[in-house]
Structure 1
Amino acid sequence: MHAPAKLNYPIATPETFTKYDNFLFDIPTRYGNFPTQWKFTRRSGTLPADFGLKPPLLVNTAGVFVSSAGQGGGQESTVINSISTLAHHGIIYVPFGYSTAFAQLSTLNEVRDDCVVGPPWGSRTFAGGDGSRQPSKLELEVAENHGSSFTKIVSRLNRA
């Protein structure tokens, strides 16, 4: 597919999902959907049977941030589509929301396709067709805010 070689990043296995309670997933976007490699349901279908009657992911939470080559890449659709995969595993989806970063998300300093810097679904960036574009200062600020917001929410859920 003419993509540059990737570094040797670790691959999540079904057991990975039993070791952690909270996840922030980075999903590359392709025409409004996630790549097959991200759809971990293909590798984790036996988890409930392997670990007893209680589905092991039932107490987990996840947030999502996305990247696409350019505008019109379907970033919001990718997040919405990912919620189905999370739901099948009993993972509670934690949206970014506008309340934690409304000023950043509603700025017109960096206008994008379907909304400005990021939707309430999760932070995002554009990588460029060849992957060379780096996130802007504002995109990085929004991503940091997203991570902080996610941490605060899941900390409250874990205390409950």
Structure 2
Amino acid sequence: MAKVLVLYYSAFGHIETLANAVAEGARGAGAEVDVKRVPEPPRPAHHAQAGQSAPVAEIGDLASYDAIIVGTGTRFGRMSGPMASFLDQGGGLWAKGALNGKVGAAFTSTGTQHGGQETTLFSIITNLLHFGMVIVGLDYGFQGQMTTSEIVGGAPYGATTIAGGDGSRQPSAIELDGARYQGRRVAEVAQKLHG
């Protein structure tokens, strides 16, 4: 059974919702899944969401998983500072090759449809590639990302949602299905590589 970590930072709750959907998909594929969040910065983002139930991760935790799925909201077209700061602590893991060959994936949220979803996913994926990880995106087996009948997040690089400029839009059914799909695919690939 593959061991999967869903690691996230969620200032407004959208990423936490996606993280739980990603975890649900990975569990559905038979993986053992933990959901953890990165520590809050000393001065949290305005409107930061309180009361998240996921435990806080430590950088050393990453080495004990077969797959790590990283999610964070977009900050000016790239990953948020709290997630970047957390991953920056992984130099020791990198030096030992502790994450080489493990499966990695990314998911994100933006305020608008063109708010940097793909560049944020790439900023996460870049870190994961430097750690030596094998990347799994949101492949086109998930047809929901192709719809034109409604505004919807999603990219071949990872699951996404659109929060709206004021944060009032919650992840749609299609976006949550995309997150579940990606979680399942990551767990399946991890099982094949490490099973």
The corresponding residue for 1:17 is: 62
Distance change (3 Å), C-alpha of 1:92 and 1:136: same
Give unpaired runs (5+ residues) of structure 2.
1-44
Report percent identity of matched pairs.
Answer: 33
Cα pair distance change 1:122/1:5, threshold 3 Å: closer
Q: Equivalent residues in 2 for 1:75-86 (5 A)?
A: 75-86=117-128
Q: 39-48 vs 131-140, which deviates more?
A: 39-48
Q: From the CA coordinates, give the structure whose radius of gyration is larger.
A: 1
* Superposed displacement of residue 41, structure 1: 3.4
1:70 maps onto 2:112 in alignment: yes
In structure 1, stretches of 5+ residues that fail to align are: none
The number of equivalent residue pairs is 149
Q: CA deviation digits over 1:129-160, x for unaligned, max 9?
A: 3433211112112222222222222222224x
TM-score, with normalisation over the residues of structure 1?
Answer: 0.81
Which of 102, 116, 123 is equivalent to 2:159?
A: 123
Cross-structure match for 2:81? 36
d(CA) in 2 for partners of 1:122, 1:37: 20
Cα-Cα RMSD: 2.0
Instruction: Select which of 80, 104, 107 maps to 2:147.
Output: 107
TM-score normalised by length of structure 2:
0.68
How much has 1:74 moved relative to structure 2?
Answer: 0.3
**1:71–1:88 distance in 2 versus 1, CA, 3 Å:** same
The offset of 1:2, in angstroms, is 2.8
Matches within 5 A, 1:139-150: 139-150=175-186
Contact 1:3 1:130 in 2 (8 A): no
Q: Larger strand proportion, structure 1 or 2?
A: 2
